């Protein structure tokens, strides 16, 4: 089988397509023939040395979709989405290969309404969104939620998941094209930063009260800006740092407004919690409430083009590689 192997991390990393034997399946595992996997920020951070030190050589990729080849629990040919949790594609070989042996509880039956690319983008981003909203943000039906980077993989998942939970999502984007995509994804209001001031726009949309909850997959200066945009007693949840690892915070605003700044990282979820979350997002997807937006798909040999698309910050949805 073919696999994309990372042999050196850094800038630039050393990654090549290589021939490898098909992995052997052990008890409690399912052998999956991979069809698609996402090119996401975690894989890019790992390959460039920006997050952790994976053992080398390694096959990256921690979410994807494929068909069951061999299993004790599922029939051959069954369509599944694959969730890598904190190890597959991080500390052990991941999904950028044509076959992979996965623990049975890391598989989600793929709803018939989703194609391979959409299935590939269903696990990590939507689990992150679901848990950030429910376990960290304590979102309530009827609340207003402010979402930065709303057309990225996590941002789009937050828009759809928040709406599915009864909240009112306001999308924050950077271009008119992204504004259109955010509207199509279900955002009830959109703030295009190329034409509007963030704080003023939020004040107008919330009658001066501010959002109840803000979620930030972008990081950098945006995190501090969002803190100013939530109401007194409101919460901001940090989810990523693609826009930078440092931010400025108005401490006076934080104190006087008794606001809350917290964070959520999916890799800290226990296996039991993650398995429960997979089932819950599977139900929402089967009901037609979740459908990942796909920006682009690339062939196996074009993985560098896929990473370039991801890091261009122009993608509106998931970037997917076909295996």
Tokens 């053992």, located at residue:
55
**Confidence bin at 242 (pLDDT 50/70/90):** confident
Backbone angles phi, psi at 198, to 5 degrees: -60, -55
**Confidence bin at 27 (pLDDT 50/70/90):** very high
Measured at the CA of 311, the angle between CA 99 and CA 123, to 5 degrees, comes to 45
Indicate the pairing of strand 168-173 with strand 144-148: parallel
**Mean pLDDT across the chain:** 96
Predicted structure pTM score: 0.91
Q: What is the pLDDT of residues 254-309, one digit of tens each?
A: 999 999 999 999 988 999 999 999 999 999 999 999 999 999 999 999 999 999 99
How far from the centroid of its chain's Cα atoms is residue 85's Cα? Answer: 12
C-beta of residue 142 within 8 angstroms of C-beta of residue 213: no
pLDDT at 314: 86
C-beta of residue 309 within 8 angstroms of C-beta of residue 295: yes
Domains along the chain? 2-122+292-322 (3.90.180.10), 126-266 (3.40.50.720)
Task: Kindly state the greatest CA–CA separation across the chain.
Answer: 61
Listed residue (147, 164, 166) closest to 156, CA to CA: 147
The span from the CA of 295 to the CA of 40, in Å, is: 12
pLDDT at 219: 95
pLDDT at 117: 97
């Amino acid at each position: 089988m073919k696999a994309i192997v990372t042999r050196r991390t850094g800038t630039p990393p050393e990654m090549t397509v290589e021939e490898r034997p098909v992995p052997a399946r052990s008890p409690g595992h399912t052998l999956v023939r991979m069809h698609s996997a996402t090119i996401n920020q975690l894989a890019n951070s790992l390959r460039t040395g920006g997050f952790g030190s994976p053992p080398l050589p390694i096959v990256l990729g921690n979410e994807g979709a494929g068909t069951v080849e061999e299993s004790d629990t599922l029939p051959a040919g069954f369509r599944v989405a694959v969730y890598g949790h904190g190890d597959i594609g991080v500390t052990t070989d991941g999904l950028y290969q044509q076959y992979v042996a996965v623990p049975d509880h890391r598989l989600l039956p793929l709803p018939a309404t989703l194609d391979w690319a959409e299935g590939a983008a269903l696990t990590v981003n939507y689990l992150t969104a679901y848990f950030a909203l429910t376990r960290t943000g304590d979102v309530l039906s009827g609340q207003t939620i402010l979402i930065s980077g709303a057309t990225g993989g996590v941002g789009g998942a937050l828009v759809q998941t928040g709406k599915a939970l009864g909240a009112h999502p306001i999308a924050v984007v950077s271009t008119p094209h992204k504004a259109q995509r955010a509207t199509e994804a279900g955002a009830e209001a959109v703030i295009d930063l190329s034409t509007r001031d963030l704080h003023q726009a939020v004040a107008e949309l919330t009658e001066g009260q501010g959002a109840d909850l803000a979620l930030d997959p972008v990081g950098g200066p945006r995190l501090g800006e969002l803190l100013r945009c939530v109401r007194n007693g409101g919460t901001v949840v940090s989810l990523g740092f693609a826009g930078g690892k440092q931010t400025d915070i108005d401490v006076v605003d934080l104190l006087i407004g008794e606001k809350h700044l917290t964070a959520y990282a999916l890799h800290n979820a226990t296996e039991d919690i993650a398995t429960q979350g997979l089932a819950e997002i599977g139900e929402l997807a089967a009901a037609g409430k979740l459908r990942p937006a796909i920006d682009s798909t690339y062939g196996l040999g074009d993985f560098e083009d896929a990473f370039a698309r991801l890091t261009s910050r122009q993608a509106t949805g998931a970037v997917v590689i076909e295996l």
